[in-house]
Amino acid sequence: MSDAREDLLDRVVAWLAEHGAGDTSMRTLAAGLGTSHRMLHYHFGSREALLGTVVERVERRERDALAALRASTADPFEAGMAFWARLADTAQVFAPLYFELAGHAMLSRPYARSWRRWLAEGWSAALARLFLDAGAAPDRAEALARLSLAQARGLLFELALTGDRPAADAAMRRFATMLRAEAAAAAGGAGQRGIR
């Protein structure tokens, strides 16, 4: 990706985070960015391709951040809580855009069909690695990953609606404590076989 395209994409992400995607045209977006709609078409092709690129950019950044946090601590639960803090810090800005674009995928809009897999499977796999690191058996890690994904998305939705960060943080800490206790109990009962 060229530097000009990268810079423009960063500006698009920031603008959409502030204004939402809605039915924003390429011309409206270009005017908001101080560029031409031709430049947007040159770099991204169509509005739909641009939205897809935005989703991939935001999601990839978050997955890279989770991987970096996993690498920085031996405790996968500590990494998970640090990742929650990162998400919560930007929830008021990015959660509305995330849920809006996820809604396009849920509705199977033609340009968003591939996002459905990207939004579901990629996060489940990334989170399952945290539980595998904690000693979970693969099927158990996948189940805990889906549960954690549902919890995080639900709390992000609530946080974006209410702005009540202390309540969201408290709920996530409670959830993490429950997961850690379940992991410890399962590991103790399973011996060397890991969390079942």
Asked if 122 and 59 count as a contact pair (C-beta separation under 8 A), the reply is: yes
Structural domains in the chain plus CATH codes: 53-190 (1.10.357.10)
Q: What is the pLDDT of residue 183?
A: 72
- Mean pLDDT confidence for 63-68: 89
Where does residue 131 rank: exposed (0-12), middle (13-18), buried (19+ CB within 10 A)?
buried
Query: What pTM value is reported for the model?
Result: 0.77
Instruction: Determine which of 16-20, 117-121, 171-175 has the lowest per-residue pLDDT on average.
Output: 117-121
Model confidence at 81: pLDDT above 90: yes
Tokens 């770099």, located at residue: 43
Poorest-pLDDT segment among 14-18, 34-38, 183-187: 183-187
pLDDT at residue 195, rounded to an integer: 41
Asked if residue 69 has pLDDT above 60, the reply is yes
